[in-house]
Structure 1
């Protein structure tokens, strides 16, 4: 269940739906998002948005700042996608790096 927190203003349905649609893109990686928490903070004319999402094999944390809240949400989504891509492909990169192809053994019969 997505939890969105903001102290300075009310989170409208439009903001909630934008955040939900952005986080749905993370589901492409077939990873369970556990307790996603989004915090929206206003710092003068800027919006700061932070997210903390637990995974079965780690945690994602990202933050973004922008004058436009929707732009900050998109930037946050891009950062989360980048982190999630790293986490999901980390194990496959290690497996490929550790794979050593055996060289065929040559017998003396074939050596000329």
Structure 2
């Protein structure tokens, strides 16, 4: 996967690129195709801000993290994106559960 990394003020070193790519590799394990991931790395005063936007089928994910340590911010960003992907993958199951519950309620009302 090709990740577009944009930086404001900071030079993107190979280790930073490798850390970001390893976090996105973990996201790919959830078996959701990630389309055109874009990461923006910036620094404001003493904190590093990292933003990511990723297109997925039928949607788009966006996460933002800030921390004094850049690698901690990258990890936090990855965790936020992972939660969003988990929610996206579990959504059909949640809808199916709601439909079964509605059918059960309709059966109860017809008996009354």
Asked if these proteins are the same fold (TM beyond 0.5), I'd say: yes
Query: TM-score range, shorter-chain basis?
Result: 0.7 to 0.9
Which residue is 1:88 aligned to?
Answer: 89
Equivalent residues in 2 for 1:6-25, closer than 5 Å? 6-25=7-26
2:8 and 2:16 mapped to 1: Cα distance? 15
Which residue is 1:45 aligned to?
Answer: 46
Which residue is 1:106 aligned to?
Answer: none
- Determine helix, strand or coil for the equivalent of 1:63: strand
Runs (4 or more) in structure 1 with deviation over 6 Å come to: none
Alpha-carbon offset, residue 96 of structure 1: 2.0
Which of the two has greater helix per residue? Answer: 2
Q: What RMSD over aligned residues (CA atoms) do the two structures have, in Å?
A: 1.4
Which ranges of structure 2 fall in alignment gaps of 5 or more residues?
Answer: 108-112
Which residue is 1:107 aligned to?
Answer: none
Structure with greater Cα Rg: 1
